[in-house]
A = this chain, B = another copy of it.
Amino acid sequence: MKAEIISVGTELLLGQLVDTNSVWLSQQLTSLGIDSHFKTTVGDNASNIEQVMALATQRADIIIATGGLGPTQDDITKETLAKTLGLELVYDEALAETIKEKFAIRNIEMSQNNYRQAYYPKGAVVLDQFPGTAPGLYLNHDNTHYFLLPGVPYEMKAIFESSVITKLREIAPIEEQIYTEIVKVWGIPESDVAEKIAKIDDDLAEIGNPKLSYLASGINGISVRISAKSQNEENALSLIKPYQDEIEALLKPYIFGHNSDTMEEYILSLCKKNDFKIACAEWFTAGMMASRLMAYGKTLEVFTGGAIKRGPFKREYLTEIQNELGSDVVLAVTEHPSEKTTVWECQLHILLNDQYFSKMIQIPRHQKEEAMAFAVINCFNFLKNQLQTVEE
């Protein structure tokens, strides 16, 4: 079974938008053990979309297209697929009602345009549970399987997760699949990570399975990925494990998680384990640290709140926050006044019960939002190191 991904949207060809959808879809196909050999981006142009659809139909069994399902005139993916396959477009009364209800819930009157969204190529089925107004579609035509998904990333992902995965498992039962374990680290440059595990890297390059790769995602840490191809997970993990153990031993002080773990999740779990409640005081990051803790969403009882206030912060101020918000830990970031024009200087503070820690970091003066995110992960990492010291 071969799959092919098609991204539809002129803005993608103009470079006005990064196509994160196709990256995410590629990852999903990989983890489902489905090979994909081509990925094509095409603009909102009927004859070009037709050309791409026809070619994909020739060479793939599964075709996943994103984008062009909206209510406007330039949304033509469904029409074009219908034309490519010589199918007529049909109107689905029940679907129109479902879309209408979505507007009713939000107390918005539905416009005439949205009725366009209730048409699809004859034979297609509407995929359950679409969070926006654009339904995802599945069509089996001459044993080629077409999935049409909306271009808005969270809508696309929701439909993929609730409907497409199950369908793909039916179509392409898993034979060999790639399983990946990721070790996530922070507080060490990527080149030093590579140097520390160079021997394992060389060994694996010769063995071929499992494989080793790195991905430095900046503010989300460095991912060391060990991937094995196998018929089942148990076998894959047994191939991965000895190397993972060795890598973890070499990188131990820098590890904050595995796979999709985030630094904030790790911090929150450490706090929970120690029965610590946590609050924030921020200026340079102005609430970004707190909002990361909130966005994780699962340990609300651990996070008690925060203050966004111009610094500098003295220890006494952190004690005030500690008392006011009923927390054991206060994490704080302030900007340090500096005459340097190439870096921001930030002070990180931790009040952990009655212990106080503080350190300065420098962040290259580029984009402010990136710099704030960099300060956040560094502050979390600073707490991680202190909490681990407490544990030892």
Contacts and interface: CB of A to CB of B under 8 A. Distances in A.
Nearest to A109: B192
A280 B189 CA distance: 36
A309 interface: yes
A163 interface: no
B48 A38 contact: yes
A22 B216 CA distance: 18
Given A71-B190, A71-B194, A154 B370 contact: yes
A117 B178 CA distance: 30
Contact of A290 (B39, B131, B286): B286
Contact of A195 (B26, B111, B213, B286): B111
Interface in A27-54: 27-30, 36-45, 48, 52
Contacts of A202: 73
Interface stretch (A7-15, A120-128, A238-246): A7-15
A131 B362 CA distance: 13
A282 interface: yes
Interface in A213-230: 213-218, 225
Contacts of A309: 305, 325
A110 interface: yes
A209 interface: no
Interface residues of A, number: 105
Contacts of A112: 195
Contacts of A114: 191
Contacts of A307: 305-308
Interface stretch (A84-92, A293-301, A346-354, A379-387): A293-301
A16 B215 contact: yes
9 contacts: A13-B39, A40-B40, A55-B55, A72-B194, A74-B212, A113-B195, A113-B198, A282-B287, A287-B306
Given A15-B22, A70-B191, A73-B201, 9 more contacts: A11-B213, A11-B225, A17-B217, A74-B212, A105-B362, A287-B308, A296-B368, A305-B307, A307-B307
Per CB-CB distance, the 5 closest pairs between chain A and chain B, nearest first, are: A287-B287, A15-B26, A286-B294, A15-B27, A287-B290
